[in-house]
Amino acid sequence: MEKELFVNAQNRVMGPLEWGLLLLLSVLWGGSFFFSKVALAELPPFSVVLARVGLAAVALHVLVLLAGQRMPTSLALWGQFAIMGLLNNMLPFSLIFWGQTQIASGLASILNATTPLWTVLLAHVLTKDERLTTNRMVGVVSGLIGVVVMIGPDTLGGLGLNVLAQLAVVGAAISYACAGIFGKRFREVPPLVTATGQITCTSLLMLPVVLLLDQPWALPAPSLVTWGALLGLALLSTALAYIIYFRLLATAGATNLLLVTFLIPVSALLLGMGLLGERLNWQDFVGMACIGLGLAAIDGRVLRWLRGERGQSTVAPCP
């Protein structure tokens, strides 16, 4: 039954459940910026990445046992998990961390938000079931404009400077897009197992990097606040987030899934307003409106309704 769901639902308009999971995923990943900021105050970046994926891997293996599932023994499948971990975690995390040492975080966020654009283009070339449509391209461009408006058009003034760092962040966005497309091959593997395999491989790949560069045995012991931030990163922004990620990838497709990149700045702003008392300005509201229009264009349901096609099923193929 689950296999049939994965095969038949991958290129459909997202329903309420998929949109709800996408919003939840954006909140979990939007919150990671807060947790990371706290953890990076005491620990170097690569150590934070290793702690994030390592603790998440332990938690996910426990969940696999509690759920009565078993990790695969196929070396070929574990090789695919390793490729997914490289594309979806190790490579983009490293590129973004390095890029942010050279360019402003706002510009890095905008460059990272090009992920859905690369996904639309690459999915059109590399897949048969996620073709490029006018609605999708208009939606991606509208969403990208919304991110630029929210973060501030002035941040684009840094374009052309530190080109290598900018290319690194764009490379991370392309890596995320490739991961979304590559991850479609796990459609028949339970999302919990796929998330566990990917995070486990990422941890093993990161371990020698941290031992060589950060030498964690020489670092001071983290405080309780830092441990709390690491647990938040690992359990919420990684373990739970990737279970949702692979569920959405199987049922909604790579293009729809990576719309979360547009929603993360919205979630981060709303979390800042709700938890930290930050205030929103007109740019934030205009940006969120552009993102909303972009999501509606990609979903296609509102456009069909405006054309009078009100009786069409919400699980019809994207136009």
Q: For the purposes of burial, counting CB atoms within 10 Å of the CB of 229, is it exposed (0-12), middle (13-18) or buried (19 or more)?
A: buried
pLDDT at 248: 86
Distance, CA of 308 to chain centre:
34
pLDDT at 7: 39
Q: What is the pLDDT of residues 210-261, one digit of tens each?
A: 999 989 888 888 999 999 999 999 999 999 999 998 888 888 777 677 677 7
Q: What is the pLDDT of residues 103-154, one digit of tens each?
A: 766 667 677 777 877 888 888 778 776 676 777 777 777 777 877 776 666 6
Distance, CA of 317 to chain centre:
24
Q: How far apart are CA 20 and CA 312, in angstroms?
A: 21
CB atoms within 10 A of CB 105: 14
Name the most confidently modeled range: 141-155, 157-171, 178-192, 199-213. 199-213
pLDDT at 313: 33
Q: How far apart are CA 96 and CA 33, in angstroms?
A: 13
For residue 2, what pLDDT band results from cuts at 50, 70 and 90? very low
Where on the phi/psi map is residue 132: left (φ > 0), alpha (ψ -120 to 50), or beta? beta
More confident residue, 108 or 99: 99
Q: What is the pLDDT of residues 253-276, one digit of tens each?
A: 776 776 777 777 677 666 666 665
pTM for this predicted structure = 0.74
Q: How far apart are CA 218 and CA 234, in angstroms?
A: 23
More confident residue, 249 or 277: 249
* DSSP string for residues in the chain: -HHHHHHHHTTBPP-HHHHHHHHHHHHHHHHHHHHHHHHHTTS-HHHHHHHHHHHHHHHHHHHHHHTT------HHHHHHHHHHHIIIIIHHHHHHHHHHTTS-HHHHHHHHTTHHHHHHHHHHHH-SSS---HHHHHHHHHHHHHHHHHH-GGGGGGTTSSHHHHHHHHHHHHHHHHHHHHGGGGTTS-HHHHHHHHHHHHHHHHHHHHHHHT-GGGSPPPPHHHHHHHHIIIIIIIIIHHHHHHHHHHHH-HHHHTTHHHHHHHHHHHHHHHHH-----HHHHHHHHHHHHHHHHHH-HHHHHHTT-TTS-TTSBP-
